[in-house]
């Protein structure tokens, strides 16, 4: 059995920006907020953090800042994915040197890959570092799905320890759990499927909703794992409207907007992401108010 990076709720944290770069003062406040509010791990420079628009210097600086600020209190997982294997290796090596506890690396996008290509891509990344690797399967964004049999092969590599499964296909999650067993931890990559993934043996979630509701997301996972299933069901069903609103436009547009509405100094979204449309903004405000996050 491999060592688990974290159990519970890992926040896929947004990156607050100024006009010139990362707003480190605000990022620091957010990190302290999450540590104080039961978040079990932080994922920096992922999709929700707009990593795809961050130059390498900025990307690496944000990882280093987060590691130093968190100072070992919870695991820090660095997003280091790329559709260019040498680039992903470069970012992953930096994350290790900066003190990250693990990396999260996404399937290649646009150029995509065959299953053989995925094995070679992820193997090259994992073999370039010593820290744990969490694979990120999100075919809706990348056009590329990691098949369960491919994950079984990749799990033979010692430091490939987990997958963030955001395919939305619970049958696929079940097959991964069935054929990979203790060799690969599973994290839900969809906030509306935390409970179903846990019921198939998942260890938690890498969450967008946790940006605005960290305690509730942590409690959902822990209630289920501690046997309080009815409370976990209540928490999962209670956040469905919020989940829908946070994904009514492409992530991270709604969640960054939500945090701004809640008083955080998030800064602007970077193009090609733009501000929300009036109808979806109204949906978001209603969901936040109904969840008790806005007055």
Q: What is the DSSP string of 174-243?
A: HHHHHHHGGGSEEEES-GGGHHHHHHTT--EEEESGGGT-HHHHHHHHHHHHTT-HHHHHHHHHHTHHHH
Of 38, 64, 136, 203, the catalytic one is 136
**E strands within the chain?**
8-12, 41-44, 76-79, 102-106, 133-137, 160-165, 185-188, 204-207
Whole-angstrom CA distances from 105 to 46, 102, 238, 263 are: 9, 10, 31, 31
Of 64, 164, 203, 256, the catalytic one is 164
CA distance 156 to 154: 5
CA 141 from chain centre, in angstroms, equals: 13
Let me know: does 188 contact 12? Beta carbons within 8 Å: no
| Annotated catalytic residue 38 | no
Q: Which residues pair with 185 in a beta bridge?
A: 162
Render the burial of 53-75: b for 16+ CB within 10 Å, e for the rest. ebeeebbbbbbbbbbebbeeebb
| Annotated catalytic residue 164 | yes
Catalytic residue numbers, as ranges: 136, 164
């Amino acid at each position: 059995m491999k060592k688990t990076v974290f159990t519970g709720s890992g926040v896929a944290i947004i990156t607050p920006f100024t006009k010139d770069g990362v707003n480190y003062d605000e990022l620091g406040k957010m990190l302290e907020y999450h540590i104080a509010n039961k978040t079990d791990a932080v994922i920096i420079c992922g999709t929700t953090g707009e990593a795809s628009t961050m130059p390498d210097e900025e990307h690496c600086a944000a990882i280093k800042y987060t590691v130093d600020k968190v100072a070992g209190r919870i695991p820090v997982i660095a997003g280091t994915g790329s559709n260019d294997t040498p680039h992903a290796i470069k970012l992953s090596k930096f994350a290790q040197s900066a003190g990250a506890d693990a990396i999260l690396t996404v399937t290649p996008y646009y150029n995509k890959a065959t299953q053989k290509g995925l094995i070679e891509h992820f193997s090259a990344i994992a073999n370039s570092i010593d820290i744990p690797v969490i694979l990120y399967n999100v075919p809706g964004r990348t056009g590329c799905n990691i098949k369960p049999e491919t994950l079984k092969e990749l799990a033979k590599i010692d430091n490939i320890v987990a997958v963030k499964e955001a395919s939305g296909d619970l049958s696929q999650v079940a097959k991964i759990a069935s054929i990979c067993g203790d060799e690969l931890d599973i994290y839900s990559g969809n906030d509306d499927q935390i409970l179903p993934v846990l019921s198939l043996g998942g260890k938690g979630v890498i969450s967008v909703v946790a940006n605005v509701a960290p305690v509730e997301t942590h409690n959902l996972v822990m209630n289920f794992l501690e046997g309080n299933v009815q409370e976990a069901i209540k928490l999962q069903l209670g956040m469905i409207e919020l989940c829908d609103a946070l994904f009514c436009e492409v992530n991270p547009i709604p969640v960054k907007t939500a945090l701004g509405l809640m008083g955080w100094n998030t800064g602007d979204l970077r193009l090609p992401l733009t501000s929300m449309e009036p109808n979806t903004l109204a949906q978001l405000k209603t969901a936040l108010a109904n969840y008790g996050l806005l007055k």
